[in-house]
Chains A and B, each alone.
Chain A
Amino acid sequence: MTTDTMIQSALKAKDYKSSLKPVWCAGCGDFGVLSAITRALAELKIAPQDTAVISGIGCSSRIPAYLNTYGFHGVHGRALPLATGLKISRPDLTVLVTGGDGDGFSIGGNHFMQACRRNVDMTYIVMDNQVYGMTKGQASPTTDADWDRSKMTPHGTHINPFYPLVVALASGANFIARASSSNPGGAAEVISEGINHPGFSFIQILSPCVTYRPEQRDWKKVVRPAPIEATTDPAAAARRLMTDDNFYLGVLYKGDRASFQPDGAEQPVSEAELEQEFIL
């Protein structure tokens, strides 16, 4: 065992936390997710300096600053492309993307589909609370159509909610799972498995907003493990994801697509060689 790996084997979950105190409300589900991420990284013994956590905008997108890894807190909705550029050019890094349902499925919706298609080896953790918390309580893409507690849509949205796991499957994600912030240990296991699985791993974590959706405190009573193992069959996964009640937890689909690999020359040539085509 080298000194480095000895040090790494001694890393605890708390070693992945920064000294910053989260801006979240007391009781916010995101505390559990933060804990799950640090536990997963410690469990996998991935050094903080070899990890990058990328986010957009929203309550949950604040996570990078609360970690002792490298991080990027970018603009609203564009965390996935930023992470894509990083991972493609730095395949040695472990790249996680964190954010909320508005950031990922509304303003960033197209990037979500394209990231699933592209299948770059990274793990996308969406803390889903069915509301925009940071802007104080508006309906998000996963909000039920008749939710009428937002001043902006006082009669409800009249739009069917978005089913991110179904869209992820249809778009080509290679690993699809659901976890709950009320069980950080279980969420940590799912995150570890997602990081280890090649390609694009998508993990929805039910993470209540106790301020604007206080009724979500009861989620912990209804979530339960999915009764069967993860399927590798997309058709079976589609049936399962389209018929479940959105509260089954665990790894629900594992694909076998190879991760995205950029094309590259086996023997790079010098820059000077590129000029040859222009010379008369």
Chain B
Amino acid sequence: MKKTSENVLEKPASLSIAIVGSGGSGVMTAGSLLLEAAGHAGLYGIMTRSSGPQIRGGEGAALLRFSTNPVFCHSGHFDLLLAIDWLNADRFAAEITLDENSHIIGDEAIPEVFSQSGASVREISFKQLAAQSPGLRPNMIALGLIGSAIGLPGEALEDVSRKLISKKGEDAVQASLAGLSLGASNASLLDGFAAIANNLKPHPEDLPELWNISGNEAAGLGAIRGGIRFVAAYPITPATEILEWLAPSLEKVGGVLVQAEDELASVNQLIGASFGGTPSLTATSGPGLALMTESIGLAVASETPIVVVNVARGGPSTGIPTKSEQSDLNIALYGLHGDAPHLVVAPFSVSDCLFSTQWAVHLAETLQTAAIVLSDQSLGQTRSIIPRPANVSFTTRRVIQSEATENYQRYMTGGSGVSPMALPGLAGGQYTADGLEHSPTGTPSSRAEDHAQQLDKRRDKLLQHDYGEHWAHIEGDGAMAVITWGSSLAPVREALNALAAEGITVRLIAPRLLMPVQPERMAAALAGIEIALVVEQSHGAQFFHYLRAFYAPTCELHSMALPGPLAIRPDDVRKEIRKQWSRE
């Protein structure tokens, strides 16, 4: 394949590296250390993990991409495939795409699916090298080799390795450093690859403070910044890291995390804690969200603020628990029974997991309702080198009834629709929060006028709120638009950058606030658009149907809806846009 404009994305403005190996070979350690060292050297990067279904010991792939600019997704092309060993590595063939510009290094047992790609092959057995001396580990040799080939300073790799391995004792540290050095001494094997990597020179003088963080950790930090001090949750892939990060972190700031018996319990624990005045959050994934939906409706009806972070995975049912999909959109939007207006907020980058979660806490607390944050596996479990996220602070909080008044009415109607909430302990504020429809005092009522009034109250308080510019990410001009959301934003954005280089301008519209819908803002965003492509990772085109139902765009609307587990590739988006564009 010749490098033509069709392959413009594959030019190495970035560098993509896949490290594969069997369980226990240290693939993930090597990848994590490489990412961390690259960050220290001033490079941006991401690392995603792919692994077999085994709980422990299965084959694994660390997929990394580096750039001198912030990087948000994989490119769909790998410059280097390094195998510590080749056991079951062919299972990753769909994710690790190679061509004649790629490089492969590993022992001679290279699977055909890779060798047939036309990539340059160098044979070396990391296991044999490691056998030369006691304590040497194949993954550290591999790490030294890659690090040297891409020009990372030796100290950067040594520092991060020492930091990780020091708890195993000085002998282990020395063995690791010897491994790095042995690897570096073989770097000439990758001369061809090093030539590509040569383009990747960081500009340390321009760098902001860099963080190494995953989307799940970022969501946890956003929760705490938003004021969350109570979390109850049940473990579930791929959301568990939020909880594992929050447990010690909440403890440090005076909060509490409780491991509940199931998701039915965790969401109800949140409602109880929030009723007592403590901002509360849980994290889960599709199956857990399905279990929680009845009680999310209770939070809506009783106007008790809670936040549910849903880190989506492939569905339905148990689906593909370790891989990403955007197919929990429908349940987040429509899963509650009755008319239950609530908030749905979708982050679109690792860094935005922090902002969106913090914003969702702010909105749920301010509007006294339930908020669902729709993250997904590809955001949550991607580890990323990013510029320090801005420290945003929101001023409005939950409106509390601060003193006893005559005839306090918890569910008083009128005004903004948000009525002051009395907290237990306030004399004269006693009321019963209720999932039964109620009058303004909270008294259960099946009267038509009470139902109508309270339905209006719960809807209007969300509609009257000004969500400001945070509602969406919008950029670019032109008569064509791509409308997308969540993790699909990254490949779309990269495709649009490539198109811009070809002289094609396309507007990008990505709502962060999915509920309540913002028709006027969307109409303004779509002004002048003649044709739009809707990009999402769901087999059922859930986002496309949502847009048609709530925004009824008058432009020509096309759907690019791909199921998981393979990530949407920037170049596929670019080709689809060109196809739609050329029809005009």
Q: Is the CB of A72 within 8 A of B211?
A: no
Partner of A114, one of B265, B298, B426: B265
Q: Is the C-beta of A69 less than 8 angstroms from some C-beta in chain B?
A: yes
What residues of B have a CB within 8 angstroms of the CB of A74 in the complex?
268, 271, 295, 298, 302, 435
Q: Which of A56-73 contact B (CB under 8 A)?
A: 62, 64-65, 67-73
What residues of A have a CB within 8 angstroms of the CB of B230 in the complex?
85, 88-89
Q: Which of B16-60 contact A (CB under 8 A)?
A: 36, 39-40
Report the minimal beta-carbon distance from A39 to chain B, rounded to whole angstroms: 18
Q: Is the C-beta of B272 less than 8 angstroms from some C-beta in chain A?
A: yes
Q: Is the CB of B273 within 8 A of A278?
A: no
Report the minimal beta-carbon distance from B170 to chain A, rounded to whole angstroms: 24
Q: Is the CB of A72 within 8 A of B433?
A: yes
Docked complex Cα distance between A179 and B321 (Å): 48
A70-B278 contact in complex given A49-B424, A82-B269, A88-B230, C-beta closer than 8 Å: no
Q: Is the C-beta of B537 less than 8 angstroms from some C-beta in chain A?
A: no
Q: Is the CB of A48 within 8 A of B252?
A: no
Report the minimal beta-carbon distance from B510 to chain A, rounded to whole angstroms: 25
A-contact bits for B536-555, CB 8 A (1 contact / 0 none): 00000000000000000000
A265-B252 contact in complex given A49-B429, A89-B276, C-beta closer than 8 Å: yes
- CB nearest to B429 among chain A residues: A49
Report the minimal beta-carbon distance from B233 to chain A, rounded to whole angstroms: 12
What residues of B have a CB within 8 angstroms of the CB of A49 in the complex?
424-430
A78-B278 contact in complex given A84-B272, A88-B230, C-beta closer than 8 Å: no
Q: Which of A232-280 contact B (CB under 8 A)?
A: 262-265, 268-271, 273-275, 278-280
Q: Is the CB of A72 within 8 A of B429?
A: no
Q: Is the C-beta of A90 less than 8 angstroms from some C-beta in chain B?
A: yes
Q: Is the CB of B265 within 8 A of A68?
A: no
A-contact bits for B248-288, CB 8 A (1 contact / 0 none): 01011110101011101110111111111110100000000
What residues of A have a CB within 8 angstroms of the CB of B273 in the complex?
85-86, 88-90
Report the minimal beta-carbon distance from A154 to chain B, rounded to whole angstroms: 30
Q: Is the CB of A262 within 8 A of B256?
A: yes
Q: Which of A83, A87, A264, A273 has the most CB of B within 10 A?
A: A264
B-contact bits for A18-52, CB 8 A (1 contact / 0 none): 00100000000000000000000000000111111
Q: Is the CB of A85 within 8 A of B252?
A: no
A274-B261 contact in complex given A81-B272, A263-B251, C-beta closer than 8 Å: no
Q: Which of B201-233 contact A (CB under 8 A)?
A: 209-213, 217, 221, 224-225, 229-230, 232
Q: Is the C-beta of B107 less than 8 angstroms from some C-beta in chain A?
A: no
Q: Is the C-beta of A229 less than 8 angstroms from some C-beta in chain B?
A: no
Q: Is the C-beta of A92 less than 8 angstroms from some C-beta in chain B?
A: yes
Docked complex Cα distance between A279 and B404 (Å): 47
A-contact bits for B151-169, CB 8 A (1 contact / 0 none): 0000000000000000000
Q: Is the CB of B212 within 8 A of A70?
A: no
A71-B276 contact in complex given A81-B269, A278-B211, A279-B211, C-beta closer than 8 Å: no
Q: Is the CB of B272 within 8 A of A54?
A: yes
Docked complex Cα distance between A274 and B425 (Å): 32
Q: Is the C-beta of A110 less than 8 angstroms from some C-beta in chain B?
A: yes
Interface size class of A (residues with CB under 8 A): 35 or more
Docked complex Cα distance between A86 and B295 (Å): 15
Give the size of the chain B interface in residues (CB under 8 angstroms).
64
Q: Is the CB of B434 within 8 A of A89?
A: no
Interchain Cβ contacts within 8 Å, total number: 185
Q: Is the C-beta of B307 less than 8 angstroms from some C-beta in chain A?
A: no
Q: Is the C-beta of A170 less than 8 angstroms from some C-beta in chain B?
A: no
What residues of A have a CB within 8 angstroms of the CB of B276 in the complex?
52, 85-86, 89-90, 93
Q: Is the CB of B252 within 8 A of A274?
A: yes
Q: Which of A69, A83, A280 has the most CB of B within 10 A?
A: A280
Q: Is the CB of B210 within 8 A of A280?
A: yes
Q: Is the CB of A78 within 8 A of B265?
A: yes
What residues of A have a CB within 8 angstroms of the CB of B429 in the complex?
49, 70
A-contact bits for B424-454, CB 8 A (1 contact / 0 none): 1111111111111000001110000000000
- CB nearest to B218 among chain A residues: A278
Docked complex Cα distance between A220 and B213 (Å): 65
What residues of B have a CB within 8 angstroms of the CB of A54 in the complex?
272
Q: Is the C-beta of B576 less than 8 angstroms from some C-beta in chain A?
A: no
Q: Is the CB of B436 within 8 A of A73?
A: yes
What residues of A have a CB within 8 angstroms of the CB of B460 in the complex?
none
Partner of A73, one of B224, B270, B432: B432
Partner of A89, one of B278, B295, B385: B278
Q: Is the C-beta of A111 less than 8 angstroms from some C-beta in chain B?
A: yes
Q: Is the C-beta of B90 less than 8 angstroms from some C-beta in chain A?
A: no
Docked complex Cα distance between A81 and B233 (Å): 11
A72-B275 contact in complex given A81-B265, A278-B213, C-beta closer than 8 Å: yes
Q: Which of A75-102 contact B (CB under 8 A)?
A: 75, 77-78, 80-90, 92-93
Docked complex Cα distance between A83 and B265 (Å): 10
A70-B424 contact in complex given A75-B298, A82-B268, A110-B262, C-beta closer than 8 Å: yes
Report the minimal beta-carbon distance from A3 to chain B, rounded to whole angstroms: 12
Q: Is the CB of A68 within 8 A of B430?
A: yes
Docked complex Cα distance between A87 and B424 (Å): 11
A85-B271 contact in complex given A93-B276, A275-B221, C-beta closer than 8 Å: yes
Report the minimal beta-carbon distance from B156 to chain A, rounded to whole angstroms: 10
- CB nearest to A53 among chain B residues: B432
Q: Which of A135-173 contact B (CB under 8 A)?
A: none
Q: Is the C-beta of B294 less than 8 angstroms from some C-beta in chain A?
A: yes
Docked complex Cα distance between A262 and B269 (Å): 14
Q: Is the CB of B277 within 8 A of A90?
A: yes
Q: Is the CB of A262 within 8 A of B268?
A: no
Q: Is the CB of A88 within 8 A of B433?
A: no
Report the minimal beta-carbon distance from B394 to chain A, rounded to whole angstroms: 14
Docked complex Cα distance between A269 and B278 (Å): 18
* Chain A residues close to B by CB (< 8 Å): 20, 47-52, 54, 62, 64-65, 67-75, 77-78, 80-90, 92-93, 110-111, 114, 262-265, 268-271, 273-275, 278-280
Cβ contacts A to B, 5 pairs, < 8 Å: A47-B427, A49-B427, A68-B430, A81-B232, A268-B252
Given A49-B428, A89-B278, 9 more pairs with CB closer than 8 A: A20-B443, A49-B424, A74-B302, A81-B261, A81-B264, A85-B276, A86-B272, A88-B273, A274-B224
